[in-house]
Structure 1
C-alpha cells in the first residue's frame, strides 16, 4: 500500500521527525528511508536504537500511527494510475488482495476512500507472525484469494516487499518510488502504474 497505492512515506517520515523532536532523539532522512517496506515493529526497534529514545518499540509504533492516521484522514496522496488500475481490475473481475505491513487502524482510513469491494483479501502487519521480507504475507494473501502465489502478480516499491513477494513465488511488478530496487529474476520494472490495464498486467506475467 505505502508507496504503491498511496504515497504516504512522507507522512511517516514527518511523523518520525516529530517523534524525535518530542522525545529529544536524533533522526535523519537516511534512517527514515532505511525503514521503507519494513514491518512496523521492526521499524520501532530500529527507531529506538538509532533515534536514541527511551520508548518500547510497540509504543513507538502506536505514536507513529497516531500521527500518520491523522494525516491520512485529512488527505490521501494517491500514486499515479493506482486507483484507475484498481478500478479496471475490479471491472475485469480480477481478484485483488492488499498486502501491507501497516496495521489495520492505518489501513482503514485509506480504504474508506475506495469502493468497499476493491479488495477481496486484506493482509496487514498485525495479522502475520512474520512480516516482509518473509514470504508469509503474500502466501497468506494468495490463500485467502484461493489461488497459488505463482499465479499472482505483486506490485511493490521496495526491496523488502519485492523479496517477500518473490520468495512466495509471485511475479513482481516493481514501481520504484522513494528507494531504489534491485533487479531480480522474478521482477519486472515500470516507472509508473499510469496507463496500465489488466491485459498488460497479464502480459507481464507471461500469460494470455
Structure 2
C-alpha cells in the first residue's frame, strides 16, 4: 500500500521524526529509509532504541494516528497508474488482495477513498505473526483468496516487500519509489505503473507458466 498504491512514505517519515524528536532524539532521512517496508512492531523496537520511552503498541498507535491526520489534511496521494491498473484488473474480474504492514484501520482508510470495490482480501501488519520480508503476509493473502501463490503477481516498492513476495512464491514486480530495487529478487522491474494493463500482468503469469 504505502509507496506502491499511495505515496504515503513522506507522511510516515514526518511522523517518525516528530516521534523521536519529542523524546529528545534525532531521526535522519537515512534512518527512515532503513525502515521502509518493515513491520510496524519491528520498527517500534528501533524507535525505542532511539530513546522513545513508550511500549510498542503505543508507538504504533501514535504513528498511525499522525499519518491518518496527514491523510485528512493533505489527501490520499495516489501513485502514478496504480489506481487505474487496479480498476482495470477489477473490471477483468481478477481477484485482488492488499498486503500491507500498516494496521487494518489505516488500510481501511485508504481503501475507503477508492471509488470502486478494490480488494477481495486485505492482509495487514496486525493480522499476521511475521511481517515482511517474511513470506507469511503473501501466503496468507493467497490462502484467503483461495488461489495458488505461484499464480499470483505481487507489486511492491520496497526491498522487504519484494523479498516477502518472492520468498512466498509469487511473481514479484518491483516498482521503485524512494528505494532502489536493483539488488532485490524482483522477477521484473517496472519504472512505473502508469500505462500498465491487465495484459501486462497476464504476460507475467504466462511467462511463469512457460518456465515451469
Please confirm whether the aligned pair reaches a TM-score higher than 0.5, indicating the same fold. Answer: yes
Q: Distance in 1 between matches of 2:193 and 2:44?
A: 30
5 Å-filtered alignment, 1:52-201, equals: 52-74=51-73, 75-115=75-115, 117-183=117-183, 187-201=187-201
Q: Supply the RMSD in Å over aligned alpha carbons.
A: 1.5
Q: Is residue 37–residue 158 contact of structure 1 (8 Å, CA) maintained in 2?
A: yes
Deviation, 1:116, is: 5.0
TM-score (norm 2): 0.93
Q: Distance in 1 between matches of 2:52 and 2:24?
A: 7
Q: Which runs of 5+ in 1 are unaligned?
A: none
- 1:3/1:184 CA distance change after superposition, 3 Å: closer
Deviation, 1:186, is: 5.1
Aligned residues: 207
Q: Distance in 2 between matches of 1:11 and 1:184?
A: 25
Q: Distance in 2 between matches of 1:42 and 1:52?
A: 15
Deviation, 1:24, is: 1.4
Query: After TM superposition, which residue ranges in structure 1, 4 or more long, deviate above 2 angstroms?
Result: 182-186
Q: Distance in 1 between matches of 2:2 and 2:186?
A: 21
Q: Is residue 99–residue 137 contact of structure 2 (8 Å, CA) maintained in 1?
A: yes
Relative to structure 2, which stretch is displaced further, 177-186 or 2-11?
A: 177-186
Deviation, 1:57, is: 2.1
Q: Which runs of 5+ in 2 are unaligned?
A: none
TM-score (norm 1): 0.95
